Amino acid sequence: MTESMTLAGIASVVGGSVRGDEHAVIQGVATIGVAGQNELTWASAPQHRAMLAASGAGAVLVNDGFGETPMHAVVCEDVDAALVDVLSAFSTSTPGPAVGVHESAMISDSAKIGQNVAIGRRVIIDDHVVIGDNTVLHDGVFVGEGSRIGSDCRLWTYVVIREGCTLGDRVTIHSHTVVGADGFGYVTRAGVHRKIPHLGGVIIGNDVEIGASTCIDRSKTDHTIIGDGTKIDNQVQVAHNVQIGKGCIVCAQVGIAGSTKLGDYVVVGGQAGLKDNIEIGSGVMLAACACVPSSIKPGTKAAGSPAVEYRQFLRENASIRRLPDLVSRVNELSKRLKKLESAADD
């Protein structure tokens, strides 16, 4: 963390150059509309030009082709990537428990705890659990029997990792998420719903981040799998035996039904719903609120309910918007046809 940086220092962090006073001091980062004289803002879209004219920012982060600005500028190749570097430089240290075990934590004698692990208040670690080095378990975390958590992980308050689950290295899970709850499966006979035992587990790869209040269910057999580098937003439901590939983005309130498979680098927009036992190919992009009843080929962009190829979705929606006019024309033509038929009868 740093409390202030010169523009020259910021340019060094982002691999860019300064246009203006490289000794000007910046004490924080803010959006165009609220940034003050000692703050840096950023601009990448054409509409930002007019906004910059009214901004009180002391400096702006822009790309090579943005052009002149009314304040000092740090010019870089990729504004979004550079902004991540700048925010990281200004970020405060993440709060959490100190290295060691809080006196209120309950840890099984058979658990294996790595080096430099921080375990907060009222954490419960069950039998035969393995915790890797430098991992942080915030207050109220529960780790069930036989589960394994890798190195450099961070589990925020009241995360639940049920029995028999495996987390890779550098996994972050936010508050109130449950990994490894039973899948939703029943066999109905004579009006009675018999619960299907779920004997499998959950495997989460390296560098995965999972948002708050998300549920990733354990499998009936085998494992529910989340691939390396995948990022899952808040309030997402991942059902039993689902397999999600590497580098996927799953936005808020998505529901993925049982045994569905996602390839690598799939993007699923918010509130989309995916049917069970289908396959979504690598590189697929699903728009927000898409309802996906069947498998989709790799590289497809899809939207709608039911989801169709994106250009088809746009054509269908354009047609729907014309429906009121078309109904009026059909009614008018119907009246004219009746008059013509009447005249013919006469």
Catalytic amino acids? 240
CA–CA distances in Å: residue 182 to residues 145, 178, 198, 242? 15, 10, 6, 13
156 is written with which tokens? 């925020």
Coil vs helix vs strand at 339: helix
Helix, strand or coil, per DSSP, at residue 81: helix
Structure tokens that stand for 46 in this block: 């054409």
3-state DSSP percent of the chain in helix, strand and coil, to 5: 20, 30, 55
Give CA separation, 53 vs 57, 71, 282, 345, in Å: 10, 9, 43, 73
Amino acid at residue number 37: Q
Is 234:213 a contact under the CB 8 Å cutoff? yes
Residue 164 CA: distances (Å) to CA of 116, 161, 181, 202, 301? 24, 9, 11, 7, 36
Residue 329 tokens, joined:
């024309």
